[in-house]
Amino acid sequence: MKISLNGQLVGKEQAVVSVFDHGLLYGDGVFEGIRVYGGKVFLLKDHIDRLYESAKAIRLEIPISSAAMIQATKDTVAANGIGDGYVRLVVTRGAGSLGLDIRRTSHPQIIIIADTITLYPAEIYENGMNLITASTIRNHPAACPARIKSLNYLNNILAKIEGTDAGTVEALMLNHKGEVAECTGDNIFILKNGVLKTPSPDAGILEGITRNAVLRLAREAGIPTQETTLIRHDLYVADEMFLTGTAAEVVPVVSLDGRKIGDGKPGPITRRLLELFHEFTRRVDA
Ligand code: PXG
């Protein structure tokens, strides 16, 4: 396996960063996770734009242009012969002395890993997923905003642990107002009376790239969409529910907190959107 480290393709053993890197010491950095379908990096420009926005939000200046980052990503995928897989881009703050001051750091580290991806079991796409609501709420937007895809994922990890303890592979997170936000690594959608609904970015969520693609595909298919405030009541009485994310793609949800959603089976519009999404990933220009 070849890893891209600061523009050089090196072997796994040579791909190392300092123990003084603030990415490790403080979770100070940003990342992206991107799918590769048929050797093409899916929605690469959208992911690179979000990476640079996340970096800007934490006052981290990425030392190369976004065009160079795009090229380095494609080169890393090609060097590893990845057909269908996954790319992880990481930019750390770089090494510095102990202490939070970013002025004491230098040389942000740019890491690109191209690998295969572990998927949810096929059974989940057929029969749907069970979810619980975590008691850990999503970060307050005035703390570290969820819009930033930062290396500090403890908020989500704490919620994920609650899910794992309860026997689910994902967990729903509410925001500081008690409204539905998103899951630990996926956005959430419901269908109610034929309308596709999902929380808007101001609910304090990561504005998922899969989410945006699914909203676009739904509109093109004539399904009305709404980005709106949702509370758990809306979820409990929904006709259908599903999650979206780079790793998950589109996953049906059939129960929340032990309550059956709709008739307890993946819904017809969810199945249709899943098909439309797969078709989209195969389009050459995607
Ligand atoms: N919400 C959160 C909190 C996420 O971390 C999504 C929603 C979905 O966003 P995208 O842009 O992927 O549709 C995410 C994405 C990983 C991994 O390796 C995590 C994500 C994506 C890819 C890989 O844990 N999270």
CATH of the domain at 147: 3.20.10.10
**Cβ(199)–Cβ(208) below 8 Å:** no
Put residue 43 in one of left, alpha, beta given phi > 0 → left and psi -120 to 50 → alpha. Answer: left
- Tell me if 145 CB under 6 Å of ligand 1: no
Residue 132 CA to residue 173 CA, distance in Å, equals 9
Q: Which atom of ligand 1 is nearest to the CA of 209?
A: 11
Whole-number pLDDT of residue 117:
87
Cα-to-centroid distance, 238 and ligand 1 (Å): 24
Same domain, 106 and 144: no
The label of the residue with tokens 């970096």 reads: 55
Number of domains in the chain: 2
113-134: per-residue pLDDT in tens? 999 988 888 999 999 999 999 9
Please tell me which residue in 149, 160, 192, 265 is annotated as part of the active site: 149
Does 255 share its domain with 133? yes
In the listed set 90, 115, 140, which residue is the last one of a domain according to the structure?
A: 115
Question: Is 89 within 8 Å of 73 (Cβ atoms)?
Answer: yes
> Which residue puts its alpha carbon closest to atom 7 of ligand 1?
186
Pocket flag, ligand 1, residue 33 (CB < 6 Å): yes
DSSP structure class, residue 43: T
Q: What CATH number did the domain enclosing 97 receive?
A: 3.30.470.10
Average pLDDT for runs of 10 along the chain of length 286: 97 97 98 96 97 98 98 98 96 97 97 91 95 98 96 98 97 98 98 98 97 98 98 98 96 98 97 97 74
The domain boundary residue, chosen from 98, 115, 132: 115
- Tell me how far the alpha carbon of residue 166 lies from the centroid of ligand 1, in angstroms: 21
Which pLDDT belongs to residue 120?
Answer: 87
**Closest C-alpha to 129, from 169, 187, 102, 180:** 169
Place of tokens 């303890």: 165
Contact 158, 184 (CB under 8 A): no
Whether residues 89 and 231 share a domain: the answer is: no
Last residue of a domain, one of 80, 115, 150: 115
Q: How many residues are given for the chain?
A: 286
- Probe ligand 1: pick from 246, 251, 280, max atoms within 8 Å of CB? 246
Distance, CA 121 to ligand 1 centroid (Å)?
Answer: 18
Quick check: CB of 247 below 6 Å from ligand 1? yes
Q: Does residue 130 sit in the same domain as residue 261?
A: yes
149 tagged catalytic: yes
Full-model pTM? 0.97
Angle at 6 between CA 92 and CA 58, to 5 degrees: 25
| Same domain, yes or no: 162 and 79 | no
Given a contact cutoff of 8 angstroms between Cβ atoms, the answer to whether 182 and 160 are in contact is no
Asked whether 209 lines ligand 1 (CB < 6 A), one says yes
Same-domain status, 220 and 142: yes
- Give me the helices (H) in the chain, please: 22-26, 44-57, 66-79, 122-127, 154-165, 209-220, 232-236, 268-282
DSSP 26: H
Whether residue 133 sits in one domain with residue 98 = no
Among 43, 148, 186, 188, name the best residue to mutate to test ligand 1's pocket (greatest count of ligand atoms within 8 A of Cβ).
186
Residues 160, 279, single domain; the answer is yes
Distance 136 CA to ligand 1 centre (A): 18
| Same-domain check for residues 82 and 41 | yes
The pLDDT, as a whole number, for residue 286 is 54
Same domain, 87 and 218: no
Please tell me whether residues 152 and 185 are part of one structural domain: yes
pLDDT at 283: 87
Query: Residue 240's domain spans which residues?
Result: 122-283
Q: Are residues 133 and 256 in the same domain?
A: yes
